Structure 1
Amino acid sequence: MSTPGSLWDIYRSRLSAATFTDLTHAFHPGQPHFPAFPDEERSALLDFSKGDAFQVHHYAFVGQWGTHVDPPVHFIDGGRSIDQLPVAEMLLLLVILDISDRVAADPDATPTLDDISAWEARNGRIPEKCFVALRTGWWPRWPDPVAFRNKSADGISHAPGWSKPVLEELLERRGVAAIGHEGMDTDPGRATSAGDASLEYYVLSRDCWQIELLANLDKVPEAGALIMASWPKPKAGSGFPARAVAIHEAAG
């Protein structure tokens, strides 16, 4: 039996009736990825079709593959690695900044300080140590690499990303623990096309971690949800595919 107010009691009374929304793309060979990375290689070491009693796959892929976690050491020499990220940060309050309407009209759109002000006018101050996800409406383009990069004739990628003023506000004045986004990069496409990853460097240099290539943010309320994120624990790991789930009240 559980005592009143215990986590078991909270689960039975609230979480068991909550909605669990998967924010993760299933990864596979041929999916969009950073051009310098090799594609995933996958083979069946043991398989039912070969007469084996069970199935075992061999996977080979870079750490930054599909929906994945970037710890600080991904960009920062001496920064925290995956195994040093505390498990207490795998369950956080989830804030969603929604700029999808602007992105639909302009794929180069980025969030502004007005987006933070508008969110806080509706929901109160962004909580410290939370996870802030940028909703852009970009995730349904997965897994089409052409649609994800959205390059113009001059080879420039037109895809949304974060902005420095918003990240500074979130990391330095709101004290968030982590961020995430639907795109492949922290920086918008025009920046990454020029080799500029300064926003990702900034985020990781602040000892913040992030999850890239989130999905289904349009199915989650902008406030009131939790994010549960997990990943394997490679020693001194610089990135790995992650599983992210939003926990929120059922619609209606």
Structure 2
Amino acid sequence: MPYYIPLTLTLLLLSAANAAAEGFPQGRWVDLSHDFADDTLYWPTADKFAKTTVFAGETDKGYYYSAYNLAAAEHGGTHVDAPVHFGRDRQSVDKIPLEQLIGPGVVVRVADRIGRDRNYQISIADIERWEKQHGAIQRGSIVLFDTGSAQFWPDPVKYLGTAERGEAAVAKLNFPGLSPEAAQFLVEKRGVKAVGLDTPSIDYGASQMFETHRALFERNIPALENVANLAELPEKGFTLIALPMKIRGGSGGPTRVVAFLPEK
């Protein structure tokens, strides 16, 4: 026997749903993620993204169906570096608390500081310059750095410094990063939850010791890399959400990063 919801109950449910929608903050969402495709940029020694077709088309039963297989390294495209990436016994990507990747966001712009040599290291002075205009970075913030690099995506020469692949190409990488001193400042003096930037690595391209990774990950502070569309964000006043693929024991993973800008 079919079950019918009484009209009065239906109206009550619709009214409650509309009230909930009306109560949700109004604003705009900004996608801060590059999509994954054949031209997605990866570290020269990492396996690139591959999408192969299982089936795409009309089935013998007369309906459309599509499915694909995916393969890629953890670290490439817009992704999160989990602390275990450079920290023994630190959090893997599935163990990062959700609240650490969701919170108030800040954008520090340094594109005007980067010269012809793109191996610029973002300094404490760059952060303090921002704070003179916008106030001290609040504890629990997620700090993003806009180096202007996203404009070069997905050109490997302009973005990475080289289009070559393999171990020998690593020495030719050339892009901005966060200095170890600035990383320590953000963690110890500002109590940030996470950091991110629009380049392939939180360390600058020519780094060999990855000191910024180590400074952050020793303290279980994750990093977002290859973040997109930072130019669309204000310097503060938005909420950042970065949810990575939940890979058990993973050192990182592809991540959908978005920002919510509430109406003023």
**Residue number in structure 1 paired with 2:130:** 119
**Residue number in structure 1 paired with 2:252:** 239
Deviation at 1:150, TM superposition (A): 2.4
The size of the alignment, in residue pairs, is 238
Determine the C-alpha separation between the residues in 1 that align with 2:22 and 2:98.
Answer: 23
Deviation at 1:59, TM superposition (A): 0.1
Deviation at 1:171, TM superposition (A): 0.8
**Residue number in structure 1 paired with 2:16:** none
Q: Of residues 204, 208, 213 in structure 1, which corresponds to 2:217?
A: 204
Letter of the aligned partner of 1:185 in structure 2? S
Q: Does residue 72 of structure 2 align to residue 61 of structure 1?
A: yes
Q: Does residue 168 of structure 2 align to residue 157 of structure 1?
A: no
Determine the C-alpha separation between the residues in 1 that align with 2:109 and 2:58.
Answer: 46
Do the aligned residues in 2 keep the contact of 1:104 with 1:137 (CA within 8 Å)?
no
Q: Does residue 114 of structure 2 align to residue 80 of structure 1?
A: no
Deviation at 1:249, TM superposition (A): 4.2
Quote the sequence identity (%).
Answer: 27
Determine the C-alpha separation between the residues in 2 that align with 1:111 and 1:69.
Answer: 19
Unaligned runs of 5+ in 2: 1-11, 13-18, 163-168
Q: Does residue 185 of structure 2 align to residue 185 of structure 1?
A: no
Determine the C-alpha separation between the residues in 1 that align with 2:257 and 2:117.
Answer: 28
Output one character per residue of 1:203-224: Cα deviation in whole Å (capped at 9) or x when no partner: 1112100110001111101111
**Residue number in structure 1 paired with 2:56:** 47
Unaligned runs of 5+ in 1: 2-7
Output one character per residue of 1:99-154: Cα deviation in whole Å (capped at 9) or x when no partner: 01122565233322222222222222211121111110001111111111225xx9
**Residue number in structure 1 paired with 2:231:** 218
SS at match of 2:182: helix
Do the aligned residues in 1 keep the contact of 2:41 with 2:48 (CA within 8 Å)?
no
**Residue number in structure 1 paired with 2:104:** 93
Output one character per residue of 1:11-70: Cα deviation in whole Å (capped at 9) or x when no partner: 746732x12111100011243211111222211112116767311110011111210011
Do the aligned residues in 2 keep the contact of 1:27 with 1:65 (CA within 8 Å)?
no
Calculate the TM-score normalised by the size of structure 1.
Answer: 0.86
SS at match of 2:114: helix
SS at match of 1:167: helix
SS at match of 1:15: coil
Q: Of residues 14, 23, 46 in structure 1, which corresponds to 2:32?
A: 23
**Residue number in structure 2 paired with 1:37:** 46
More strand as a share of residues: 2
Calculate the TM-score normalised by the size of structure 2.
Answer: 0.82
Do the aligned residues in 2 keep the contact of 1:161 with 1:186 (CA within 8 Å)?
yes
